[in-house]
Structure 1
């Protein structure tokens, strides 16, 4: 199950203690929090990514990718806080390209977890 990441304090915790992974089109900042019931996710798309229509399209794609990854994994995404962001030009790439990049970021985060 995926929930929405909200609140200034959650973003402050994520910035202070979170681990970041980059790959191609995307970056992901993650902070493990076993006390949560589900993964909490937020998306950061800069204005340089394009007009609102394009940014919303990319956000919807990312949301669907995260939902799919959560359902495909037997235990779902690890509980914690996630901030998923795009780099310039991410709007030009397909759903498959975004998924590959997100999977690579999550794999890097798994390797850095203690």
Structure 2
């Protein structure tokens, strides 16, 4: 279970993170990351569209992604919003594939965020 303090809930936060944040995609998912300076910890949200599959499949993918994020909680940047968007291949991906794709995409998105911050 994802702790309540880590959950992103408002649709405005999702939209801002997707529109204004950095993005890194892999074969099973896309990670969007946005710096929120006035925020203490990180928050995470999940987007699993109907294209991934039926309700049972989408919920299974969402549960797996939540588990991945909880395992990798230490790698979340402080003061950031992160949106993890599942792609269609996530439905048939193994847990280890999801872990590798998430870790790789998060690292790339945070690196791009740092690059963007250093340019300003």
TM-score range, shorter chain: 0.7 to 0.9
CA apart distance, 1:110: 2.7
Which residue in 2 is equivalent to 1:77? 76
Shift of 1:46: 1.3
Residue 30 of structure 1: SS of its match in structure 2?
strand
The two structures have a TM-score, normalised by structure 2, of 0.82
Runs of 4+ in structure 1 displaced over 4 angstroms? none
With 60-69 and 37-46 compared, the bigger mean Cα shift is at: 37-46
Q: Is the 8 A contact 2:27 2:89 kept in 1?
A: no
- For residue 17 of structure 1, what is the aligned residue in structure 2? 20
- Per the alignment, residue 92 of structure 1 pairs with 92
TM-score, normalising length: structure 1: 0.86
Structure 1 residue ranges without an equivalent (≥5): none
Which structure has the highest strand share of the two? 1
Q: CA deviation at 1:25?
A: 0.8
Alignment of 1:23-102 (within 5 A): 23-70=26-73, 73=74, 76-78=75-77, 79-102=79-102
Provide the aligned C-alpha RMSD in A: 1.6
Structure with the higher fraction of residues in helix conformation: 2
Match of 1:103 in 2: 103
Quick check: 2:52–2:87 contact (8 Å CA) kept in 1? Answer: yes
Gaps of 5+ in 2: 116-120
